[in-house]
Amino acid sequence: MSIRINKDNCIGCGGCRQVCPGSLLYADEQGKSEIRYPQDCWGCTSCVKECPVAAIQFYLGADIGGRGGYLYTRREKNYLHWVMVGPDGTETVITIDKHKANAY
């Protein structure tokens, strides 16, 4: 499991680096985030959720049913939109109310 960071979209805010439990993310020379050891990514998606500009994508490998797709998030006030992009480019969006996300 791993993530990829679109450096063109990254604004260098550092939020992803602060929430990565494996300390795998660091700032490059321009202050933009990079992943140190992609193979060590735990797949927790903390960085994906934290990114305010959808610069981080989580790869959905075949081992978890993704067949090469990816997901990212978009923020909208109190909502977090999880966008799953399939290998054929189709998108599925799941919207979560951030204030109710931990309710069971």
Give 60-89 pLDDT, tens digit per residue: 877 666 678 899 999 999 999 999 998 889
Look at residue 98 in the predicted model and tell me its pLDDT.
85
Which tokens belong to 36? Answer: 């140190």
Establish if 102 belongs to a structural domain. no
Rounded to two decimals, the pTM is 0.84
Q: How many domains does the chain have?
A: 1
Establish if 30 belongs to a structural domain. yes
CATH number of the domain at 13, please.
3.30.70.20
Rounded to 5°, the CA angle 68-3-93 comes to 65
Strands (E), the chain: 3-5, 25-27, 33-35, 56-60, 69-76, 79-85, 91-97
What's the domain range around 78?
Answer: 3-97
Give 1-49 pLDDT, tens digit per residue: 689 999 999 999 999 999 999 999 999 999 999 998 888 998 899 999 9
Establish if 103 belongs to a structural domain. no
102 against 57, higher pLDDT = 57
